[in-house]
Structure 1
Amino acid sequence: MFQFGQFIIVCGHYGCGKTNLSLNLAVNLQKAGRKVTLVDLDLVNPYFRSSDFQEVIYSNQIELIAPVFAHSNLDLPALPVDLHRIFNMPDRTVIIDVGGDDAGATALGSISQSIQQLSYQMLYVVNRYRALTQTSEEACALLKEIESACRLTATGVVNNSHLQAETTVDDILQGIPFAQKTAELLNLPLAFTTVPAFLADMVKEAGENVYPVEIYVKPPWEQ
């Protein structure tokens, strides 16, 4: 099983499932006994970002650092005023939910020099069924754009191939070769494959490195 460090960055294409994974990591690590701070750095997409799920966050005693205007009708791109506190939290696990693509990763670049001084994990989330990353070559090209924008390098790939509520075991299994090839082309390890919790046991039977997730983030038509 993948071993999570103290400083975790979650990046990827718009709609690949970054926020849902970030929430699951935060909840699970907090339940495992860590003190977790979740940083919402999505200054681009006003619809699916960590700070919009405060019930999940606060009911699990997770600390949230969010953009200045999150939850207002202004939605201006402003970095959290207390963002630099994350570099003085030796007793906490920090998870950063980065905005999508290179545009969203630009905000991360503003603190990249400080992050480079740390031992960090930057997980690149891929979804075979998401437009613009349906081939491994497309997924690799997108990561290079993200890395250039944030001035950091990924340390692992996460397979999050899914079709929202219609996801089946076959959909997940068919996404694994795509993720494996992407990781191979990037010369990175495939950290794990996310699986909706209700399907996890069936996928585990296939011998995959599975990370079960609850579905916190849903499109409006599924809510």
Structure 2
Amino acid sequence: MLQFDFNISLNDKTHIDLLTGTIKNHHIGKPVFIIEYEDSYQLMFESDYEQYELIKEFAAHFDDYEYTEDISGGNDEILMAVRRVQSPFSSDNFGRRWNEDPIEKNFYLVKIKDALPAQKPQSVIHVLFGKEIREYKIHVGEAVNRNTKEEGYIVIKEIPQEGEKPEFLTGLFLNAADAFWEGYRLLTPRVEADYEDFQKELKRSKKTKAKK
């Protein structure tokens, strides 16, 4: 069975509905994480398929853009970047593995030259469960190490009420982005558990409808 990890960066937020609509049409079968930055979105999901049709379908809406795997010459406008990593655990129907190491492939929907610069993620993450979008939050706060007086950022469970002490989930990070991604890593098991419950409820709902 093939196993792929997808990371899609959309550098124009106005096209997010078009991209999520395209993903919905292709029935990924796994939770799709949608992370909003200041001027862009990042979408991450797993799949047992290469999703060539999904990528081509989205690109077909933009006549003045084309896909390329080579941006070494420099492109100053990248509408979307797709990173696809094939797991070394991928195998055929008989359990035989094709690759011992991860195989990474990158696609870029480009117009002219360079990709937009990286930006700080927002605290809210939207996750696509089938055609339903759910909202999760990662709380990153400023903190100071009492022993070293070092300043940085830390992930907390939730924003404390007045008089309450925050529950720390991580140690100190030097920048907010690193703290955010650690919070994302900690959030992932919860989202996967919620997705399993979502699938179970979906199956129960289908069975109930079938009996009527």
TM superposition score normalised by structure 1: 0.27
TM-score for both structures, normalised by structure 2: 0.28
Larger RCO, structure (CA 8 Å, separation 6 or more): 1
| More helix, by proportion | 1
Query: Which of 1 and 2 has greater Rg?
Result: 2
